Amino acid sequence: MLYGMDDEDEVKEDFEEFVEEKHVNIKKVLLAILIGIAVVVFFIFLIIISFNLTTQKVNITVEKPEDTTENIVQEMPLVEENTIAVQNNVEEVLEEIQIAAHDTKKLTLPVLPVENANGAQEIKDIYASDEKQVYLTFDDGPSKDITPQILDILKQYNVKATFFVLGARTELYPDTLKREFEEGHYIANHGYSHVYSKIYENKDTTFQEYVQTEQCIKDALGIQEYNSYLFRFPGGSSGGRYSKVKNEARELFNSYGVAFTNWNCLTGDAENKTTADACFNEMIRTKGNQNSVILLMHDANDKEQTVAALPRIIEYYMNEGYTFKNFYEIFREK
């Protein structure tokens, strides 16, 4: 078959189209193969990662020891060591807390009495004052049973008093003395023994009883800086069998800057007033028309009548518009 030029050109074009088509098909096949290979590699990668994760979980499970008694016993020394370390840390912290708590407590305690060069005169002025004021005072304590009851009553009414304590009794009941001080009451001095023949042997023995009792107070409170600056002579500061010695002792006390006080009202609880009514009535009688009152009572362990009368006495002065005071009024920073 013969071909003309036109035919030859046509055949040539057909052949070129055929070749071009083959190239396109080959490219498609190669692209498909590459895509397939990429997909296969991706899935293999995912399978490998999944396998590794599973293997790690298995290893963790296998390596974890069982909670057997043997394992627990083996671990106990480590636990004990840790426990001891924690306890030591706790104890160190508690020591710091206790120091802080102790310091805080000291800050909240009543202030210590302060020496007052004019104290003796200011005490004398109490008796001459027209101010409605009452100083509740208790002698001969502290005692085992009566003093705590008196403190309870004073706390109930929020009243502060003055306790003229005996050194010998302070040695027996230091905790009660601490309570008196910590609750804001004034601790004053009534001598050591309350044995008149011993106290008033001479002026020096009188002052020695004061010094001895001051040390008892310091020791009971645990505060060596405490000084009361105030003494009440057993039986009063004048008169009676030992009047001469008392006069000499007063001068000696004055020379050391120690004041003293008596009273201008009493309940008679140290005499023959053995009931609450009798004590209250004696208080009314001895008070008379006085506005400024220093009331004498006792907190020895046989003074149940004082405990019974005290609420009524306090309520009486409250109703009459009196201000309750103790001797911090005299011996404090001004």
* Largest distance between two CA atoms of the chain: 177
Q: How many residues does the chain have?
A: 334
**Residues acting as catalytic residues:** 139, 298
b (16+ CB within 10 A) / e for 161-199 = bbbbbbbebbeebbebbbbbbeebbbbbbbbbbbeeeeb
CA distance 279 to 306: 7
Integer CA distances (angstroms), 246 to 36, 52, 100, 191, in order: 125, 105, 47, 13
Q: Are 187 and 213 in contact (CB under 8 A)?
A: no
- The amino acid occupying position 135 is Y
Give the three-state DSSP class for 250: helix
DSSP class of residue 261 equals -
Residue 309 burial (10 A CB sphere; 0-12, 13-18, 19+): buried
DSSP letter string, 92-146 = HHHHHHHHHHHHHHHHHSPPPP---TTHHHHHHHHHH--S-EEEEEEES---SSH
Burial 222-258 (b: 16+ CB within 10 A, else e): eeeebbbbbbbbbbebeeeebeebbebbbeebeeeeb
CB atoms under 10 Å from CB of 270, counted, come to: 16
